[in-house]
Amino acid sequence: MKFLIVGLGNIGPEYKNTRHNIGFQIVDAFVSQQSRDAFFSPNRYAFTSEYKFKNRTFILIKPTTFMNLSGKAVNYWLQKEKILRENLLVITDDIALPFGTLRLKPQGSDGGHNGLKSIHETLGSSDYPRLRFGIGSNFSKGRQVEYVLSEWEEEEKKILPEKISNAVEMIKSFGTTGIQKTMTEFNNK
């Protein structure tokens, strides 16, 4: 059984440690936890990595299309790997959730997120699982873009590794026990 795990973010060193790139940070952590020799390779529309766990194959991607065109990479890799849409998991930042809050959902709106909007438009549906990582909304009116593209505060950096590790466990659980059990076990923690 195959799963496509998509970490949303923007390529380039200027975006590396920003709130908007939490999806990249989580899939990077997933890959590095599995093996010191594991890495992402440049591929069509994305950097990719593959990991086998409990008779499951996880194809992890970090789209190179930039956030606003994430749907192109997601659609390409779903088709190339012949992965069912219910086995797609998109990891994204979410300003509607307090910092560090993790929420797995089987579907939902794009909530104004350009990456999710692109995926919705490309797939023609918002009926796919997503893991939302709360980044909070500590910004003034009109400063949302500046906020999501800024780096984490020092206090957030202290808590971030634990929250990213929890997200990695949720990805494994999603692939091995399914979305419902994973939501029950992790969503309210």
- Catalytic positions are 20
Beta strands in the chain (DSSP E): 2-7, 41-43, 46-53, 56-63, 88-94, 102-105, 130-134
Residues 6+ away with beta carbon under 8 Å from 22? 9, 91, 92, 93, 133, 135, 164
The overall longest dimension of the chain from CA atoms, in Å, is 48
> CA of 132: how far to CAs of 6, 69, 104, 121, in Å?
12, 19, 6, 19
